[in-house]
Structure formats: structure tokens, C-alpha cells
Amino acid sequence: MLKKISVVVPVYFNEESLNILFDQLAQVGQSLGKLGLDLEVVAVDDGSKDKSVEVLDTNSKKYNFLQSYSLTKNFGESTASKFGLTKITGDAFIVLAADLQDPPELIIEMAKKWQSGNKFIVCEREKRKDPIVTKLFANIYYKFLTRFIMPNYPKRGFDLFLMDSKYLNVITDSSKSSSIPLILTWIGIEPHVIKYDRLARSHGKSKWSIKKRINLLLDVLFSFSRKPIRLVSAIGALTALIGLIFGLTVIYEKLSGSTVSQGTASLIALVSFSSGLILLTLGIIAEYIWRIWDEVNKRPNGIEK
């Protein structure tokens, strides 16, 4: 029996690129066959409002290697990918974007590396033909990520990867807010890195809004780092120390008979600063508590229509 490569494709407003994508994946499947490997593709529509579902249905009838699913609403790319990963049966798994910016033929090169014994292969972007805003956010995001959260994360990031299915349960059992690339890196397996240039998007428009980018940054920060809690604890301790010194100074001046400092403005500033700090601290704690609540309420990773 041939070993199988499973490819999960999250779909969101990709009607223009899907036919080309699956034609290319059919060619990839033929190349994998020459390597003694079978191909399985699981496409998950994440609540698209265009004709993506219809295009998926058409291609599912055209290609035997393709299974398609449709979620009831937009749950997010990570959730759609995890839903797809619960449906695969392969010996290794890949998550491939549907926008054709990551060339599908990279699957062949990753499969060869997997056959040679590598359990984890990532395609790291050397260059990216994206809008300036996208490049700017990516640069800030990855520098922040490698500096404060996960130092061993590829400096230019990755979305396309192959991992042995031995580790599949680590992804499917992870929390809803956890980023798949970060979980894969967190496992601790040294990846084999394939360098490539990310292509320009030629079909449709990206739905990756500023709001989604900020949510991603917050999810990564509060899912993989305790530094925000440590930071507010340190600031709280410093503020308490300043308050103690201020109080001792007032008491000393009173006992020594010196003129007590007239510090109404200073007191107002200190109280305002302390109040703001308390609200900031509560907000950071709430971010962690929200993610705990979101996990323990046991809502599913996507709901199929």
C-alpha cells in the first residue's frame, strides 16, 4: 500500500484560484505517484460568500483525490485548517493556502525530504511579492515573534510545511486560538528548511484585514508567552515601591518638623497613573482568562454544513 501525503486547503473567497490550484495539485499528484506516494486533498470552505463552494463541488466530482467540506460560517483560517486535519488519512500532512502564492510544486520537494527521513520540513520565504502594508506587518510580526516569544522560529516566517502524521494529534488537540506554525515550532523538532520566493497574488483580493492581523498577534502573544504577566507584575512592584518611598518621605518630613510637600498635583498624577496601570493589568489578565474560557467551554473547531 502506498504511503499518502495529505494536503489541507483552507478556502475563503478563493473562487478565482481554485480551478487552477486543483489542476496544479493533479500534476503534483502524478509526480508523487512516480515517487511511490499517493495524494489526498481536503479542502475546507470557511464560510465564503462567493462561489467557492460551487467550485469545490465541481472539482470534487472531477478529481478522485479531492474531498471538500463547507463550514457554517467564517471561523478563521486556523480553525478551518484544524477541521481539515481531523479528516485526513495520510502518513504526512501539509496545509496549503488556496491563493496560489505558495507554489504547489513545493509539495514534491518536501515529499522527497520526508522520504529521506525528515519529519518536519518548512518552506521559508526569502522574498515576498506582497503589498507594502503586508510586508511591513510581516516584518514587525516576525521580529517581535523571534525576539519575545519563540527565538527558534524561522526569521521570515512560514505557512507552507510538511510534518509526519506521528505529530498530528499535537495540532488537532491544541487550543482554538493556537497558531499552527507556532505549535509545530514549539514541538521542538529541528525543521529542514526550503527557501523560496512567495509569489504575488494574481487571483482575487486578500481578506487578511488589519483587525485579523492584530488578533493574530494577540493570540500568539497570549497563547505562547507569559511575559505580559511578568511585565505587569514588575511594573506593579515598581509602582508600589515608588508609592512607598513617597509615603515614607511625607512621614519623615512630618516627624522632622519640615514643611510637608504640597503635592496635590503629584498625588493626582500618581493616582491616575496607578488607576491606568490597574486597568491595563486587568485587561492583560482578562486576555488570558478569555482564552482559558474559550478552551474549556468545548466548542468544536468548526461546524460543517
Which has the higher per-residue pLDDT, 267 or 67? 67
CA–CA gap between residue 294 and residue 218 (Å, rounded) = 15
Do the beta carbons of residue 114 and residue 158 sit within 8 Å? Answer: no
pLDDT surpasses 90 at 255:
no
Q: What is the pLDDT of residues 159-210, one digit of tens each?
A: 899 999 999 998 888 776 678 888 888 888 889 999 988 877 676 666 666 6
* Region for 164 from its dihedrals, namely left if φ exceeds 0, alpha if ψ lies in -120 to 50, beta otherwise: beta
Residue 170 cell numbers, joined: 499535537
Q: Bridge-partner residues for 69, per DSSP? A: 44
DSSP structure class, residue 190: P
Do the beta carbons of residue 103 and residue 196 sit within 8 Å? Answer: yes
Q: Bridge-partner residues for 164, per DSSP? A: 92
DSSP structure class, residue 145: I
Residue 140 cell numbers, joined: 514587525
Q: What is the pLDDT of residues 117-136, one digit of tens each?
A: 999 999 988 776 666 777 77
* Rounded (5°) CA angle 54-86-32: 75
Do the beta carbons of residue 106 and residue 24 sit within 8 Å? Answer: no
CA–CA gap between residue 198 and residue 74 (Å, rounded) = 25
CA–CA gap between residue 61 and residue 50 (Å, rounded) = 20
